[in-house]
Structure 1
């Protein structure tokens, strides 16, 4: 995963056939993801106690003054060359596009550690059918929020930018949100540098791509905990918005449509929050 050329490099280094390396890779990734969920939660887990949440929100607030932030959420796409009606029902692909897009929703804390990772078909469904629903209660009880982009539905626990902000508090809110969400860009950039396999299309079945991404998330957090430096290269804040550009080009109509057509209580909450903190 760290080379981006898993089979050829591992085969040369270990003196084994590519088929043997592929089998071992499949067994390991499947075992970690499916057989031992506690192992995943040991390294990738959303904080539950007040002290952790307080520490995290203080770090986020220091970035741009945006209060009560528990994490930033974003989507990265990893494509697969496999196309079938079975996968089309579970993973999103666009009409006429032979590539299956796997939406990987990642939540980062202020230290660029991953708090949550989940595969979901579209951003609009992330708070339903499981998704982040299981941590929504933690956020609501503690009074904290996630920060998302305009592809996510605005909720009391998930704040998103105004599509057409008015001068004053709304514009201040948008600017602070964008700057705070820079953590997302840095976190994704760090993962790509540590694991070049994430920089390009992974030519595997969708479920295998999902397992690989979860494994990379676990290893990324271990590196952060142990202060393992990034590979030599460009600064981790490289401004790489390629994932965002893909979404903007192919999902602009969807994002500018139903996102603002939300329950009035959620939109009123955002308005009140904006007027309270960004005058």
Structure 2
């Protein structure tokens, strides 16, 4: 996204004080504005602040902390860059550059902040947590998709129109029993079906390569996904009481991902409205918000943002399901829900 050109002589920038002595005196007020308390903003500054340092002190450059707080304010609201700049006393071109720089820094931490359970210890802890929800065995992640609205793109416009007839990015994610996201795929236009997003994801390739049985864990997905040995979907037409019990437990357990999307969009309102940026920039912002969500969970930030019921019923297609996937589903049904 190009910075805006300022044709007039630059006026001296007047910064609102966003440091400890003023806005950061009240932890709760700061958390409402920036989604993190001052203590956890300290942590975020230690994590990425060194990359935001400016090599010169000329022209009163923004400190790393100020840059981080400008970006957090942008993610936390649906305000335009101009509004953010006016609120914090920074010109819109600076806000644009700051959001880009901070987004790039947070995006680069994704591999350490978003981790799928790959070790025996991690898988065991996750399976235990999911089992406690509704007695469903061997679950290591719940998978689902959501749409993030974007402005009409200038290229391949029709590819971004989803089934609800608005332009969007189709975001696939998985999460664990704690509400921590364990994978994210935010690169596909809104018209892309959830199953295709899954088939092209790193999560799919990891499970295809590393899954050898129930001990390796399974994913739960809705009927938009194919039933595989490592991806169990509900029965479309349960034929008996055991299959209905399976569906009920599957739904209750998988709902953690729907609730996670709701909390994510309430915490970072930028994902709850039309993002007026190019698709690639939007994809990075989505990943950044997921990283920040995981850090908020890790650092003990409360979730006082009610889940948003914006989930859409999946389009049910006739998938070429792996017969062994159906066999695994039938085995679990008979062993645990009959």
TM over 0.5: yes
Contact in 2 for aligned 1:82/1:206 (Cα 8 Å): no
TM-score by length of 1: 0.83
1:25 aligned partner: 99
Structure 2: stretches of 5+ with no match in the other structure: 1-74
Q: Which has the higher contact order (CA 8 A, sep 6+)?
A: 1
1:264 aligned partner: 323
Contact in 2 for aligned 1:106/1:114 (Cα 8 Å): yes
Structure 1: stretches of 5+ with no match in the other structure: none
The 5 A counterparts of 1:1-279 are: 1-5=75-79, 7-33=81-107, 36=108, 39-86=109-156, 88=158, 91=160, 93-94=162-163, 97=165, 99-119=166-186, 120=188, 121-136=192-207, 137-140=209-212, 142-231=215-304, 236=306, 238=307, 240-244=308-312, 248=313, 252=315, 255=316, 257-259=317-319, 261-279=320-338
- Note closer, same or farther for the CA distance 1:271–1:210 as it changes in structure 2 (3 Å cut): same
Figure out how many residues of one structure are paired with residues of the other and give that number. 258
Aligned-pair CA distance for 1:85: 5.0
Query: Partners of 2:122 and 2:93 in 1: how far apart?
Result: 44
Aligned-pair CA distance for 1:269: 2.5
Contact in 2 for aligned 1:109/1:115 (Cα 8 Å): yes
- Note closer, same or farther for the CA distance 1:87–1:57 as it changes in structure 2 (3 Å cut): farther
Higher mean C-alpha displacement, 75-84 vs 171-180: 75-84
- Note closer, same or farther for the CA distance 1:155–1:94 as it changes in structure 2 (3 Å cut): same
Aligned-pair CA distance for 1:60: 0.6
Deviations 1:191-229 (CA, angstroms, capped at 9, x unpaired): 122211122222222111111110000111111001111
SS in 2 for 1:164: coil
- Note closer, same or farther for the CA distance 1:101–1:15 as it changes in structure 2 (3 Å cut): same
Query: Partners of 2:212 and 2:143 in 1: how far apart?
Result: 16
Contact in 1 for aligned 2:106/2:291 (Cα 8 Å): no
Query: Partners of 1:270 and 1:85 in 2: how far apart?
Result: 42
Runs of 4+ in 1 over 6 A off after TM superposition: none
Larger Rg: 2
2:3 aligned partner: none
Alpha-carbon RMSD: 2.3
- Note closer, same or farther for the CA distance 1:19–1:53 as it changes in structure 2 (3 Å cut): same
- Note closer, same or farther for the CA distance 1:92–1:118 as it changes in structure 2 (3 Å cut): farther
